[in-house]
């Protein structure tokens, strides 16, 4: 009896890798779930809907976009971090995810809960003013804010996000004070910026580019090191006296930590195929961003650097959820 049990266990152990390979080969076995941790209408939702049809075509399964807004992206990320590591739930992370690691108490840690798959795109943030405001340059905003501290408001997609943290750094460097008005994502913030409910808006260019072109929103500065083709004729903050200032926005595809490596590789291969498609690249660039692509290691290094850089700024400026 004991010999038969041992032989049975040995056979099961030998069969396990074959079963796992068969499961991986069959992946995806059902529709995929792509969590977008912001409401519809924001830049992350826009990016997801650009890549969704082609990614679905490449993988041969439907991809269901699930908007889980709230907590500057942390609500959706928490949901993704709870998912089974079977390759059927993915997270399209936004730059807020790096700042959330320091400014929030989270039930997960980014680099432990997720397996980086690929950067998707990077781009500039821009400070824009409603067309009815008197400011024609960012220096005029600085002068007005110094004359009357905390009387000029600016919107962002949420407390502790890159737009908020980078604007805090601008205020620190320039010795002026604005009033922060956080929203539950870029979409809701954009609506109030367009209506003039809030005079300034710090945002990635993806969701405001068409409104800059129409003249509804006036660009005052960008967070790239120098001028960017996505907002032509507008100087970077570094060029306007904020030495070495740079804060690129970004989007990345992440899987659940523990997802089998063959599945992660297949998703990365699919993402590289999607992002190399001229149509997809063109649509992303039209939105005001540049395709970043690259594999898991590049994505991992980039995320680690962002968490470290902005964590230092948050701690140095005592940024909290009440900021």
Give the CA diameter of the chain: 89
Kindly indicate the confidence band of residue 322, based on its pLDDT and cuts at 50, 70 and 90: low
Q: Does domain 30-122+248-316 correspond to CATH entry 1.10.150.20?
A: no
30-122+248-316 and 125-240 share one fold:
yes
Residue-wise pLDDT tens digits, 3-38: 444 444 444 444 444 444 444 568 999 999 999 998
d(CA 137, CA 200): 12
**pLDDT at site 94:** 92
Tokens describing residue 192: 């109030």
Domain boundaries, the chain: 30-122+248-316, 125-240
Span 101-105, mean pLDDT? 94
Residue-wise pLDDT tens digits, 197-237: 999 999 999 889 999 999 999 999 999 999 999 999 999 99
The alpha-helical segments, DSSP class H, found in 87-239 are 96-103, 110-113, 138-147, 162-174, 186-195, 209-214
Q: Does domain 125-240 correspond to CATH entry 3.50.50.60?
A: no
Pairing type for strands 179-182 and 153-156 reads parallel
Residue-wise pLDDT tens digits, 145-181: 999 999 999 999 888 889 999 999 999 999 999 999 9
Residue 187: Cβ-neighbour burial (10 angstroms; 0-12, 13-18, 19+)? buried
**pTM (2 d.p.):** 0.82
On average, the pLDDT of the chain sits at: 91
């Amino acid at each position: 009896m004991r010999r038969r049990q041992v032989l049975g266990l040995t056979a099961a152990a030998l069969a396990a890798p074959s079963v796992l390979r068969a499961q991986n080969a069959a992946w995806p076995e059902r529709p995929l779930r792509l969590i977008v941790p912001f409401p519809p209408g924001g830049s992350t939702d826009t990016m997801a809907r650009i890549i969704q049809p082609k990614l679905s075509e490449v993988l041969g399964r439907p991809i269901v976009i699930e908007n889980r807004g709230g907590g500057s992206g942390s609500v959706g990320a928490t949901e993704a971090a709870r998912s089974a590591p079977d390759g059927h739930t993915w997270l399209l992370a936004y730059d807020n995810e790096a700042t959330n690691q320091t400014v929030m108490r989270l039930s997960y840690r980014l680099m432990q809960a997720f397996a980086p798959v690929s950067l998707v795109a990077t781009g500039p943030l821009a400070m824009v003013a409603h067309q009815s405001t008197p400011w024609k340059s960012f220096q005029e905003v600085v002068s007005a804010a110094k004359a009357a501290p905390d009387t000029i408001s600016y919107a962002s997609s949420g407390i502790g996000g890159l737009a908020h943290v980078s604007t805090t750094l601008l205020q620190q460097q320039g010795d002026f004070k604005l009033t922060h008005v956080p929203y539950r994502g870029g979409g809701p913030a954009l609506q109030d910026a367009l209506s003039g409910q809030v005079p300034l808006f710090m945002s990635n260019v993806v969701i405001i580019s068409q409104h800059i072109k129409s003249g509804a929103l006036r660009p005052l500065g960008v967070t790239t090191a120098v001028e960017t083709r996505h907002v032509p004729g507008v100087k970077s903050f570094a060029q306007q006296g904020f030495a070495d200032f740079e804060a690129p926005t970004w989007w990345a595809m992440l899987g659940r930590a523990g997802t089998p490596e063959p599945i992660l590789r297949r998703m990365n291969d699919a993402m590289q195929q999607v992002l190399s498609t001229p149509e997809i690249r063109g649509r992303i660039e039209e939105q005001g961003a540049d395709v970043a692509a690259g594999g898991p290691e590049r994505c991992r290094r980039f995320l680690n650097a962002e968490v470290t850089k902005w964590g230092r700024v948050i701690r140095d400026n005592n940024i909290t959820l009440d900021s």
